[in-house]
Structure 1
Amino acid sequence: MPEGHTIHRFARLHREAFAGHEVAASSPQGRFAEGAALIDGRVFEGTDAWGKHLFHRYSGDVLVHVHLGLYGKFAQGPLPAPEPRGALRMRIEGNGEYLDLRGATRCEVVTPEEKKEITAGLGPDPLRPRTDPTPARERIGRSRVAIGALLMDQSVLAGIGNVYRAEILYRHGVNPYVLGRDLEPAVFDDMWADLTKLMQAGVRAGRIVTTEREDRVRRSGRATRADSFYVYRRTGEPCRRCDTPIAHAVMVARNLFWCPHCQPAL
């Protein structure tokens, strides 16, 4: 599932391509036909991203809410657009570009009030400007749930997925089974600041890289795919810092990775 940096990157790309321009909208698949008819011919005014939720804003206070889920994908390029094929949920055309959406969990027209209801259920997003992390810190500090599960709860922190969960815990030496109430507030604050930095870099680069240069095999130039992570999908491989084999388990139905030495249990 795309993590928050991907959604914020899409928000920026879509805004740059279409904002201020009238667009044509269609639903070749037919599942979004009514919504497409409603936004067809309107001006694309802007975008907003919160966690894994993306909103397109059109003239007349019309909003389209998209949640990609596990299988949703956007494709964007210059006009003319290719012939529609397969389950093409939504197509937008304008300002010399097209945007296609397939496979999303949600693609729906919502009102401004409905948008508020959706975002009210989300925790702080490290990528949103001037976001106060206090609600997340306080909720975690009261919780008897493991921090590895709390980080995947979008009502606690928005936009964090499996990769960022594993990597931020490793970078701060936190065992994923530590209870939220046992996590020091200062450690959470350090994790929040680090998440903000890592996710902003992810928006710019369009990919997640969490390793420091000194911990990579190739220490100069762009990080290779194999050098991008400390623990994610590295089960049994040696830790980059201590050579301990990376451990694996399943938590909240998702694969979990950590170093037993660098992230010791309390």
Structure 2
Amino acid sequence: MMKKAMIIVTLVAGLFVAGCSSSESKEFEVSFDGSVDHVHGMGYAGSDKGLYFATHTGLKIYRDGEWLETTKNLNDYMGFNAVDEGFYTSGHPGEDSDLPNPIGIQRSFDGGKTLESVKFEGETDFHGMAVGYKSHDIFLMNPGQNSELEQGFYKSTDDGKSWKSVGAQGLEGELFALSIHPSDSKLVAAATTAGVYLSKDGGESFQLLTDAAQGTAVFFNEESLYYASYNSGPSLVKYTIKNGEQEELLLPDLTEDGPVYIAQNPQDNQQFAIYTTKGQAFLSNDNMKSWEQILVDGKVK
């Protein structure tokens, strides 16, 4: 009888712990109906099918047609990069954080519940940073001297333990965005005020892809580079890495506006998302043949 009672107590305790764990998980993400402001990165982080928006006040998530926000780690995320296990980011701590300012390079592999320092905590805020979706190799522009790096472009292939200076020859203009190929870190792209640039030697040298246009966004998948630029209007182009072919893609109706972030769902290759200068966000479920708006002037739909 005593043995049976102990088994029942153990089972009840186990259910209680499981219930607490489930409750805690749900409480970290709550329903959101408001404005998504000051976005400094967007992507499908990890395997939970969520589209993450890195904002001035933490993470906002669009998942299965619903908007969510996190309830802690409400940091000002900059240089945000989604990867296969979660995300890498830089930026500044939120009011609920005990992280130093700036936060250096941090990463999270649990949807933002916890952050782990990679490098330069309390030293540098990296706005221009790219991380390989599969490789986790880091390519960045260091804005000013810190304890280890001079100002300039650097890459790390060992998760920030060591850094190599890269020349970035041919890259001109003010930097807006960087992207590095998911698995082949020889391929790096940059969007600047002078256009869209591609490097095939790990950032040592860059070639201009655009003609008389300002670059606004760059994104790699395994086969292609997707880039946005703006001249008299916005343009979205698919550049095939294997043969260099370029194909102009359909954009939603944008007035004096254009994409600044591009993302593709790795679990659904037909699904793409863009976020624009004026705070509009659109989702395509048919490989950019049509678009559905999910943010209107920064307000969720």
| Greater percentage in helix | 1
Q: Considering Cα pairs closer than 8 Å and 6+ residues apart, tell me whether 1 or 2 has the greater RCO.
A: 1
Does the TM-score normalized on the shorter chain lie above 0.5?
A: no
| TM-score, normalising length: structure 2 | 0.26
| TM-score, normalising length: structure 1 | 0.29
